[in-house]
A = this chain, B = another copy of it.
Amino acid sequence: MNFLRIYLGESDHCGHEPVYKHIVKLCYEHGLKGVTVLKGVMGFGEKHHVHRVDFLTLSEDLPIVIEVVDENEKIRKLIEEIKKCNFDGLVVYWDVSTLRIKKEAL
């Protein structure tokens, strides 16, 4: 199994939609096993703009991290879809072991 993480900014857009919501939608439509979106409190990337939580502004463009755990082949295909979206981001992935915990019907 593969662990995929995508770094981008909260205010990155893809058409009228935030990129991170677009990627969640892609995961949903392409039948990925799941996805989790985390929001950071501070960060910088390629352009060396430091983004941080700031009480004086509403548009903070905080760091967003999207996580997907799935089979390598499905992750590879998802990355191809994500690339079609026009934004600046960093994609990171590595191999992991997984185990599904299932609720027993009582």
Interface residues of A (CB under 8 A from B): 1, 3, 7, 20-21, 24, 27-28, 33-46, 48, 50, 63, 65, 67, 69, 79, 82-83, 85-104, 106
Contacts and interface: CB of A to CB of B under 8 A. Distances in A.
Question: How many of these chains are in the complex?
Answer: 3
A24 B37 contact: no
A66 to B, nearest CB: 9
A36 B65 contact: yes
A65 to B, nearest CB: 6
A2 B44 CA distance: 17
A44 B65 contact: no
Contacts of A40: 36-39
A41 B38 contact: yes
